[in-house]
Each structure stands twice: as C-alpha cells, then as structure tokens.
Chains A and B, each alone.
Chain A
C-alpha cells in the first residue's frame, strides 16, 4: 500500500477504497448463481421415459 502511495501521481486524490471499488467494477464477474431452467409443474407430462400418458382433460366422475 505504501508503494502505491508513493507512485501515485501527485494530483490524484484517490483513496484505496475507491481504487479497489474500481478494480471490482472493471472485472465484473458473471452471475454467481445460475438461474437455469428447472422442472415446473406446468411442464406437460411427468414420467420421462413415460409410456404415452398425456395430460388429459378432467376425467368424468366415477359412476
């Protein structure tokens, strides 16, 4: 840190906090948490190796 103080141009009044903030912003990383698509109940059909069973209209009441 002292080295930085001595080599900084005299006109600069930047603070270490500012320089650090700039460095962080300049190399903004990708999003840390993925929002990749997951299963939703709206997806048609539940069984994956499912055996031909489609979402059907509401079944009639049992007699």
Chain B
C-alpha cells in the first residue's frame, strides 16, 4: 500500500538517491586517510542496518546495481556475504528479478537491403539492462550470493562505426556502474579501445550541460587511465567542474567521486 502519491519511478528514484548518499558515506569511511580501517566491514547493527528494508530501497539497490559496492571495489575492501549491501542486493534481485532474455530484434529483412549496422534504440536499452544486471550479479557473486541473470551473449558493444560515437558514448554512460576496478568484460574492452569516442561523448555532454551523463562517461575514461589508456581530455578539471556545476544529485556525486578516485590512481 503506497504511503504517498508518488509513482513507483519517483519512489525508486528517491531511494536510489539515498543509496548513493549512503555509498558516498561508506566510501569516505573506508577510503579515508586512515587506510588501516579499510578492512572493517560496515557493521550490521548501526543505524544504516535497515538497508533494503522497504520495496523502495530494494528497487533503489537494483537501480544502483554494482555501484552499491563501489566503496568496496574502489578501496580494495574485502567483500563477504554479511555485508548489508550484499543482503540487500540479494533480496532486491529476489523481489525484482531480471526480465527474461530477449534476443535483439533484427529489422524486418528486405531482399537486397543492407543489414542495419546500428542497433535499434530498444535493443540498446535492453543490452544496457543486461550488462548492468550482469555486473551487479557478478559482484554479488563475489559476496557469496548467487542470483540468476541472463547471460550477456548477443549484447556485444557496438563501437565500430566512427560516426556513432554519440550513441555509443551515451550507451556507455548507461553502463557506468560497470566502470569499477575488478570488473572486466567486452564492454570494458570496448571502453579501452575507444578513448577518443569516450572523450568526445563526455565533452558533448558537458557542453549540453548534461553533467550527469558527462560524469558517467568520464568514469570510463578514469578507469581506462588507471589501466594505462590515456584520456584525450584531462579528467581532474572536468570532474571538478561537474562536482561544482552538476547539481544536487547524489548519484551524480557518486559518479564523480568514482571518477576522481580512479583518476587519482593513475596508470
């Protein structure tokens, strides 16, 4: 029974924001100046222990996906089944399981017509969900909780066409939770192969004043830089700019923080 008149989307969005605030706090706690405290897991008896106690929070966890564990992956803090985040995410997958896999729909075949090189919008969205679920399940698996997700077969990144950098970079923005150390996949390969397209995508988003998208794309550049792939655009001033100009969203702040941490790491 909904308490307010908010739509599910509004409820989940707010919950995702709260999750992002929490993740930022955990990241500060784990990755603070005192590095020795980095092994201490978040206690289950604290005020934040109620993580995942509501449907909204479970939905919020699904939206954040792998980013719920960003503080641990970024600081190298060990994952284990007792983490509040792990329990919450496992419940979230139970409550909101992934949709059954659909193969990408080919356009109606015309004799002699060329195959469309560019995936349709619905296919791109479906691919993004598949990869996000893959990443969340992957990290959750390392916490000792297994959840079934459709395999990402048939959802290989479409980064071939030089004149599609706009579309591809926005798709990569949708996959920003994958841009974390410790994850690797064809999507990560695609990012490493195309720093120029990522740079163009990030700059395009900045100029459109779509700072959220800019931060999400920039994370990939930061990750690449940490892995030895030079970014065509300097990340530190760009991320700082998003931090100041990018509005109040905690999810954007989390994307910025992840990008900054990775950029600091260096190759």
Contact = CB atoms under 8 A, between A and B. Distances in A.
Contacts of B174: 26-29
A21 B210 contact: no
B213 A31 contact: yes
B179 to A, nearest CB: 15
Contacts, number: 85
Q: Is the interface of B mostly helix, strand, loop or mixed?
A: helix
Contacts of A8: 97
B53 to A, nearest CB: 15
Contacts of A9: 94, 97
A3 B102 CA distance: 13
B99 A35 contact: no
Contacts of A57: none
Interface stretch (B9-17, B80-88, B192-200, B236-244): B9-17
A62 interface: no
Interface residues of A, number: 29
B207 A22 contact: no
Given A22-B62, A25-B63, A34 B208 contact: yes
B63 A12 contact: no
A9 B13 CA distance: 24
Contact of B59 (A12, A13, A21, A36): A21
Interface of B: 7-9, 12-13, 16, 55, 59, 62-63, 65, 94-97, 99-100, 125, 128-129, 132, 170, 173-174, 205, 207-210, 212-213
